[in-house]
Amino acid sequence: MSTLRAIQADITTLALDCIVNAANESLLGGGGVDGAIHSAAGPQLLAQCRTLRGCATGEAKITGGFRLPARYVIHTVGPVWHGGNAGEAELLAACYRNSLALAATHHIQSIAFPAISTGVYGYPLAAATDIAVRSVRQVMGQPDMPQEIVFCCFSERDLAVYQAALLRQD
């Protein structure tokens, strides 16, 4: 059975099989966690991302981790918040489901997710966290899912929201 937990850390420092990048559709780097991952992984990540020809919102693609402690990076594009009536919840849930499906096909045993869409894309943290926890829990028991799933939080505030959601949805 998989374990699910939340921690406060810099996702680029985690020595897991895989970390998830909250990417933009170009996959060519940006701000926030995306910029941090590209910077830490080095220029080889950008070169490999160029070959992927972008990624649609809700979808996921995989690359090597290069200079990161993680062997792989799964890039997923979260939705921009438009008030909640433009299919944002379904697209955000798809980010988690598609990332975990890709992890399963690559036999990834440990994976960390950032708080997808909650930065410059403006998704309200509490709502995004509930979707993240629910989406991951729905697929945890399926074959080949990672054994360790981590929500990596940048701040103490984010960590408290994730820990509350994990307890509430337990």
Q: Could you read off the pLDDT tens digit of each residue along the chain, which spans 170 residues?
A: 689 999 999 999 999 999 999 999 999 999 999 999 999 999 999 999 999 999 999 999 999 999 999 999 999 999 999 999 999 999 999 999 999 999 999 999 999 999 999 999 999 999 999 999 999 999 998 989 999 999 999 999 999 999 999 998 77
3-state SS record for 64-103: ECCCCCCCEEEEEECCCCCCCCCCHHHHHHHHHHHHHHHH
Which of these CATH numbers, 3.20.20.80, 3.10.20.30, 3.30.559.10, 3.40.220.10, describes 3-168? 3.40.220.10
DSSP 88: H
Beta bridge partners of 86: none
Taking the C-alpha atoms of residue 140 and residue 40, their distance in angstroms, rounded to an integer, is: 29
* Catalytic sites, residue numbers: 34
